[in-house]
Amino acid sequence: MKKRMLILPALFLAGVLMTSCDKEVESTALTVNLARTVTVKGYVYAELNNRNAGLEFAPSGTLIYCSVPYSDLNPNATGGKWADTVRVGDNGQFSINVPVDDNGVNLTIEAESFTYNQVQPFGANSNSIEKFYTAAPVVVAVSTTHTPVVEVFYTATTPAFYVEKVKINVTVEAELNESLTGNEKVANQKITLHNSGWAQEYTTDDNGEFTAVVPANENIFYTISFEYAKTVSDGGGGYKQENYKYEVKSGYVGNFASESDVTLDLGGGVPVP
């Protein structure tokens, strides 16, 4: 008798738990009916190539997230949403089955952001630039009698870390020899190009030249300092060599939108005491 008394309460508790679970499932099934669906199609566009006319299709495999509030399917639903995902095909198209009722639903379409090396216009400093692509959510009304073709458009943004750069060909000159006409090339000297957020040191070659890659569309400055045995007049019709210092701090180089040639004139220097 004692054994029976212990088993019966356990069976009763199991029955209560099973009844409770059945009611929960039943309630969920009654809240939203997902059986009736329509097929929604769409196209996804992005500016991937600035050398083509118009927009391109978003890359194949791009993820599209679709959702419908449960309250659109049944006013008595207290929350939650139906959701599903689909991927963009080779032709920029996607297709998805969406649950609807006679009153229609609001379908929200969200496209996954991605990065892509966007081809730049002809003549640009860079052939391509990595861009961030994002698309605003699209909300459309869908019903058994209205299934619009949806279009999603991406916006391309240049990452904050990217700096457009341009090549410049620099020649450095100074008056190093008074016995010759004009300036001479400043060979094998260190020079720093810089602005408020960037700096790079270069060295002139035997011809006083160097090539630099600098931020585009920004003011560029230079700093250089060296001593040189300058040939100067001796006051009696001849020439002699004296030590001169050539120094320029934050001299202006220029502002460049495309590849350019530039000559820097350091002047005649000053005698070293």
- What the chain holds in terms of domains, given with CATH numbers, is 37-157 (2.60.40.1120), 165-271 (2.60.40)
The answer to whether residue 267 scores a pLDDT higher than 80 is yes
pLDDT at 78: 81
**Average pLDDT, integer, range 22-44:** 69
Please state, rounded to an integer, the average pLDDT across all residues of the chain.
89
Does the pLDDT of residue 227 top 80, yes or no?
Answer: yes
* Nearest Cα residue to 142 out of 93, 95, 107, 109: 107
User: Is 5's pLDDT higher than 60?
Assistant: no
174 neighbors 189 (Cβ within 8 angstroms): no
Please tell me the predicted confidence (pLDDT) of residue 75.
87
How would residue 257 be classed by pLDDT, with cut points 50, 70 and 90?
A: very high
In terms of pLDDT, which residue wins out, 65 or 2?
Answer: 65
What's the mean pLDDT in 252-267?
Answer: 96
Residue 189 three-state SS:
coil
| Percent above pLDDT 90 for the chain | 78
Report whether pLDDT(7) > 70. Answer: no
Calpha distance 48→60 (Å, rounded): 13
Nearest to 209 by CA among 191, 235, 230: 191
Using alpha carbons, list the distances in angstroms from residue 71 to 31, 33, 78, 142: 9, 11, 7, 14
Instruction: For residues 173-181, give the mean pLDDT.
Output: 96
The answer to whether 211 touches 198, Cβ cutoff 8 Å, is no
Confidence of residue 17 (pLDDT cuts 50, 70, 90): very low
Rounded Cα gap, residues 248 and 93, in angstroms: 60
- pLDDT at 264 > cutoff 60: yes
Residues 6+ apart with CB under 8 A from 114: 58, 59, 62, 133
Structure-block tokens of residue 107: 């379908």
Residues 136-159 have a mean pLDDT of 96
Inter-residue contact 60 to 49 (CB < 8 Å): no
The pLDDT value recorded for residue 4 is 43
What's 177's DSSP letter? B
pLDDT at 31: 65
Q: Per-residue pLDDT for 150 more than 80?
A: yes
Give the closest residue to 176 by CA, choosing from 236, 250, 266, 248: 266
Q: Which among 170, 166, 163 is positioned nearest to 191, based on CA atoms?
A: 170
104-113 residue pLDDT tens:
999 999 999 9
Q: What is the pLDDT of residues 77-90, one digit of tens each?
A: 888 999 999 999 99
In this prediction, residue 92 carries a pLDDT of: 97
Return the SS3 of 130. strand
Q: Which residues pair with 24 in a beta bridge?
A: none
For the chain, give the percent of residues with pLDDT over 70. 89
The pLDDT of residue 178 is: 96
Confidence of residue 35 (pLDDT cuts 50, 70, 90): confident
